A = this chain, B = another copy of it.
Amino acid sequence: MPLLVVGSVALDCVETTTDQRDDILGGSAVYFSYAARFFSPVRMIGAVGEDWPREHTRLLEDRGIDTSGLQTIPGGKTFRWRGRYLPNMNDRETLEVHLNVLEQFRPQLNNTHRDCRFLFLGNASPVVQLDVLNQAKGAVLTVADTMDLWINIQRDELGQLLQRIDGLVLNDSEAKLLADDENLVRAGQAVLKMGPKFVVVKKGEHGAMFFSEHEMYVLPAYPTARVVDPTGAGDSFAGGMMGHLAALGRFDPQALKEALAYGVVTASYTVEDFSLDRLTAIDRADLDRRLAEYRQMLMF
C-alpha cells in the first residue's frame, strides 16, 4: 500500500572523531523513503534548490521511490545541515543550519499523494504539518515527527497537531521536554494524553519505547560494533516502521510492535556507514535476517 512522506531533503556535512564528509545526501524524507522502500511503495514530497545534484534523485528513483513531489525551487539553495558527533557517537552538536528553500516551502499534494492511506509527516513546523494533514484526505494512518524547536516556540500549534494525528515519533530528550518530566515512562504517558493514539520515543543507541492506551513496552537497539554515522537513524527507523505497516495494510498492536522491530533493524544498518551508503548495499533479505537474529536475541 503506498506510503506518503513529507519532509526535508538535505545536503549534510558530518564530522565524527575519525572522519568527515561534506555535502552528502541526507534529510528526513530521504532517509525515511529509502528505508521504507524495502517494504512498500513510497511517494515523497520535498523541496531542493538549483544546487541539487541530479544523481541523488536518480538514486531514489532507481529504488522505485516516486519523486514527482520533489520540487526544485528556482534560484533556491538546498537545505544544509552540519553536525559533529561526540566520541560516544550518540550525542551530537549542530554546527550550522541553513534552511534555504525550506524557509518558504509549503508542500502541495497532488491527487496521487492525497490517495495515500499511510502518511508520515517528517519533522517540520506543526503549522506546515497541519496544512499537509488537511490536504491528505485519504490518509487512514498519520504519524508525525517533531523536534525541540517546535516544542519551545510553537507548543500550541503542536498541541493542535497532536489532537489530529494517530502517532507521534520523537526523541527521548524531546519527550521529556514536551512532558516536563525526566522519567521517560511518565513522559511518554503524558505525551499520549495530549492526543495521539500512540507515541514512539526514540532512545538512540538504547532503542525505542512504545506507548498506547493499553500497552507500554521498550525494545533495545540492535547492537552493532560498527557505528560510523548515526545521522538519519531516527528517520530510517520511522521508515522501516511505517514501511512495514503500509505493506501489511494494518496497524493493530501486533503489527505496530513488529513494525517497531523492523524500524530498529533498519536503523541499525543506517548507522554502519555515512549517508545512505550502507542501506544501498543491503537488500530486504538482510533486514529479515537481522530481524530474525533480533527476535532470537530477545527470547529467553
Q: How far is the CA of A63 from the CA of B259 in the complex (A)?
A: 44
Instruction: Please state the number of chain copies in the assembly.
Output: 2
Q: A203-B206, A218-B221, A218-B223 in contact; A300/B258 too (CB < 8 A)?
A: yes
Whole-angstrom CA separation of A299 from B206 in the bound complex: 17
**A7 CB–B CB distance under 8 Å:** no
Interface residues of A in 136-184 (CB under 8 A from B): 182-184
Q: Whole-angstrom distance between the alpha carbons of A261 and B218 in the complex?
A: 14
Known contacts: A206-B206, A225-B185. The answer to whether A217 contacts B297 by CB under 8 A is yes
A111 within 8 A of B: no
User: Which chain A residues numbered 178 to 228 have a C-beta less than 8 Å away from chain B?
Assistant: 182-186, 189, 203, 205-207, 209, 216-221, 223-225, 227
Whether a CB of chain B sits under 8 angstroms from the CB of A89 is yes
Contacting residue for A185 out of B183, B186, B217, B223, CB 8 A:
B223
Chain B residues with CB under 8 A of A299: 298-299
Report whether A220 and B223 are in contact in the complex, using a CB–CB cutoff of 8 Å.
no
Complex partner residue of A223 from B182, B209, B261, CB under 8 angstroms? B209
Residues in chain B near residue A217, CB distance under 8 A: 223, 297-298
B300–A257 CB distance below 8 A: yes
Given A257-B300, A299-B298, A300-B295, A216:B209 Cβ within 8 A: no
Asked whether any CB of chain B lies closer than 8 Å to the CB of A104, the reply is no
A174–chain B nearest beta-carbon distance, Å: 14
> A225 with B295: in contact, given A206-B206, A220-B219 (CB under 8 Å)?
no
Q: Which A residues lie at the B interface, using CB under 8 A?
A: 87-89, 182-186, 189, 203, 205-207, 209, 216-221, 223-225, 227, 254, 257-258, 260-261, 295, 297-300
What 19 new A-B contacts, CB under 8 Å, besides A185-B223, A185-B224? A87-B182, A88-B182, A89-B183, A183-B225, A206-B206, A209-B223, A216-B223, A217-B298, A218-B220, A218-B223, A218-B297, A219-B220, A219-B298, A219-B300, A254-B300, A257-B300, A258-B300, A260-B300, A261-B300
